[in-house]
C-alpha cells in the first residue's frame, strides 16, 4: 500500500471509529422491555479493534515518514518544516496588515503617524520566498505520498 493510501485509510478509519463510538453512546440505554438495536458489548469490541487497527497504521506511517528522505530531510521532518514555513508566512503577513484606516491618537489626543521598522516590501519578498519553498516542499511530500510504499 502506498503511503498516501495509508493516510486516506487512516482518515477513513478515524471517521468509522467516531461513528462506532456515537452509535454505542446512542444505543447504550434502552427502554425497559425493549430490544436494543445494537449490542453495546459488540460495539465496544469493534471500537477496541478499530483503535488497535488505527494505532498499527499510525506506527507504519510514522516509520515510513522517518525512513523516507526528501531533499536531505526525513519525510517526517519535511512535514514539520512545511508547518514551520506556514507559521512564518502567517507571522510575516500579520506584520504588514497594520490597519491604517484609523487615526491613532496619543494621550494628548494628537494624531500619531506610524512608520514600519522593517520595509514592507522586504517583508513581502521574504513571505514570497517562504511561500515558494513551502509549495516546493509540500509538492515533494505529496509526490512521496503516492510513490513510497508503507513499511510493514
* Model confidence pLDDT, tens digit, residues 87-139: 999 999 888 876 554 455 556 666 666 677 888 899 999 999 999 999 999 99
Q: What is the pLDDT of residue 49?
A: 98
Q: Is the pTM of this model over 0.85?
A: no
Cell of 102: 484609523
1-10 pLDDT per residue, tens: 999 999 999 9
Go through the chain and tell me how many residues it has: 152
Q: What is the DSSP letter of 148?
A: S
Q: Is residue 151 part of a domain?
A: no
Do 43 and 62 meet the contact criterion of CB atoms below 8 Å apart? no
Cell of 27: 444505543
Confidence band of 64 (pLDDT split at 50, 70, 90) = very high
Q: Is residue 152 part of a domain?
A: no
The owner of cell 425493549 is: 34
23-40 pLDDT per residue, tens: 999 988 888 988 888 899
Q: What is the pLDDT of residue 112?
A: 67
Q: What is the largest CA-CA distance in the chain?
A: 78
Q: What is the pLDDT of residue 98?
A: 65
How many structural domains does the chain have? 1
Q: Is residue 113 part of a domain?
A: yes
Q: Is residue 150 part of a domain?
A: no
Domain range for residue 75? 3-28+35-145
Give the C-alpha separation, 16 to 22, whole Å. Answer: 10
Do 137 and 70 meet the contact criterion of CB atoms below 8 Å apart? yes
Q: Is residue 18 part of a domain?
A: yes
Q: Is residue 46 part of a domain?
A: yes
Amino acid at each position: 500500500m502506498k503511503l498516501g493510501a495509508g493516510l486516506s485509510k487512516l482518515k477513513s478509519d478515524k471517521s468509522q471509529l467516531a461513528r462506532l463510538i456515537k452509535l454505542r453512546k446512542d444505543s447504550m440505554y434502552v427502554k425497559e422491555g425493549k430490544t436494543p438495536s445494537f449490542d453495546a458489548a459488540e460495539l465496544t469490541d469493534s471500537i477496541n479493534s478499530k483503535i488497535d487497527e488505527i494505532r498499527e497504521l499510525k506506527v507504519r506511517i510514522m516509520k515510513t515518514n522517518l525512513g523516507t528522505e526528501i531533499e536531505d530531510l526525513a519525510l517526517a521532518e519535511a512535514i514539520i518544516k512545511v508547518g514551520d514555513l506556514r507559521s512564518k508566512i502567517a507571522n510575516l503577513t500579520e506584520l504588514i496588515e497594520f490597519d491604517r484606516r484609523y487615526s491613532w491618537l496619543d494621550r494628548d489626543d494628537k494624531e500619531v503617524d506610524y512608520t514600519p521598522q522593517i520595509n514592507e516590501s522586504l517583508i513581502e519578498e521574504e513571505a514570497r520566498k517562504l511561500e515558494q519553498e513551502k509549495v516546493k516542499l509540500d509538492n515533494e511530500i505529496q509526490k512521496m505520498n503516492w510513490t513510497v510504499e508503507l513499511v510493514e
